[in-house]
Amino acid sequence: MQDWQQQNWSGHVRFSAARVHSPRSIEELQALVRDARKAHVIGSRHCFHDIADTDGDLLWLGDLQEAPVIDAARRQVTIHGGMTYEQLCPLLEAAGWALPNLPSLKHVTVVGACMTSTHGSGDNIGQLATAIKRLELVQPDGSLRVLERGQDGDDFRAAAVSIGALGIVARLSLDLVPSFQVQQDCFERLSLERYLADFDAISGAAYSVSAFTTWQQDCIDTVWLKRRLPSAMPASFHGATAGPTGTPPTDRTLTPCGQPGPCHERLPHYAFRDALAVGNELQSEYFVDREQAGAAIRAVVGLRAGLAPILGLSEVRTMAADDLWLSCTQGRPTVGLHFNWLKKGPEVEAFLPTLEAALAPMRARPHLGKLFAHSPAQLASVYPRWRDLAALARRWDPAGKFSNAFLERHLFSAL
């Protein structure tokens, strides 16, 4: 087992697997799953608790030897379960194609991002799993269960965001769009009251919009507008000040401002110079109905004293609604409130119940791959299909081969 496979990216969760395997073919993956007592997949390790852990066989799929297959007629690409966005997107660009949206970090695996309902930003763009057209899931006996959008109904809607409970994704087919150019423009010190008053206009001002703040002042520190070209940079922006252009030096390569480029180089926020290095942060995120955005933001502002010693930065983003069972945006246009915590685990965990209580009237859903304090009953109350997914997983995997401590604690205990 390599050192980086023994812990998550932030280094605060140690994995407990008895063995780690790196299959090189789908057939080898199927055999490993068939013969395992317990099996789970490790991706980019960008989880902030034990969702990816197992006490059985941990599978890393980055060595699968299958090239992406682009079907131009169907506007789809099929990839193996270990591919990252950073590996996939330049290949798509070279062929004239792109994905509709991307996560903030390009080094994460496509499957890992989709299975936890990770997202980008954009009023009219769904979270990343909405691009899934077809899945091939390895089942407990090693067979492949194939599910396709538009043909397999609730089974597909359950599997597209299934946090590892329904099987291991061997292959994934994703919708494509023709490649396009994006430019990121930056505006600074946007009045908080103006942001709330003009929220719809601000969030809809570009293809993808992100607002960053520490919540310590009555302003949004920075707004990033990722506009699809050709389109003009606004001459003014709701009273905010135009920010600098170029790329500031940092340990992360930030997306440059004021410079056009391929969408896969502009929609992510930054790339790590060493994606395997231990991260110096923790993360949480909560999702509310777009209509509750103002109330949720004001609730967080009311906690600024508690946030000050533990928060690095927050980001506010918007997403379109969908019908996937455990999607952060299931059934409602959504606003996401992201919290990039300082690496102060005990203090952050002690504060989360206070934050969640403040957001509870807005029926906030936690990001399932990040830190949260919700009980199983609370998760079932904000994710309407929570118990349905648990019941389906028990039917498909009655012996619990794909279960782990996280799923037993949060999902199956809700039955």
The stretches of 210-344 forming alpha helices (DSSP H) are 263-266, 293-301, 304-307
What pLDDT score was predicted for residue 348? 98
3-state secondary structure of 366: strand
Q: Please identify every stretch of the chain with a pLDDT value under 50, giving residue numbers as ranges.
A: 249, 251
Q: How many domains does the chain have?
A: 3
For β-strands 252-254 and 365-366, DSSP reports them as unpaired
Tokens for 186? 């930056």
Give the domain extent around 26: 3-60
For residues 231 and 250, state if they share a domain.
Answer: yes
What pLDDT score was predicted for residue 274? 62
Given its phi and psi angles, is residue 316 left (phi above 0), alpha (psi -120 to 50 degrees) or beta?
A: beta
For residues 201 and 334, state if they share a domain.
Answer: yes
Q: Which of 134, 163, 178 is the last residue of a domain?
A: 178
Residue 407 domain flag: no
Count of helices and strands (H, E) across the chain: 13, 21
Q: Which of 40, 60, 80 is the last residue of a domain?
A: 60
Residue 415 domain flag: no
Q: How far is CA 180 from CA 78, 128, 344, in A?
A: 20, 18, 40
DSSP H/E element including 193: helix 192-197
What pLDDT score was predicted for residue 251? 46
For residues 210 and 306, state if they share a domain.
Answer: yes
For residues 146 and 185, state if they share a domain.
Answer: no
For residues 191 and 156, state if they share a domain.
Answer: no
What pLDDT score was predicted for residue 249? 46
Q: How many residues does the chain have?
A: 415
What pLDDT score was predicted for residue 277? 65
What CATH number should be reported for the domain holding residue 213?
Answer: 3.30.70.2520
Q: Which of 178, 195, 216 is the last residue of a domain?
A: 178
For residues 91 and 203, state if they share a domain.
Answer: no
Q: Give the pTM.
A: 0.96
Residue 384 domain flag: no
For β-strands 208-213 and 219-228, DSSP reports them as antiparallel
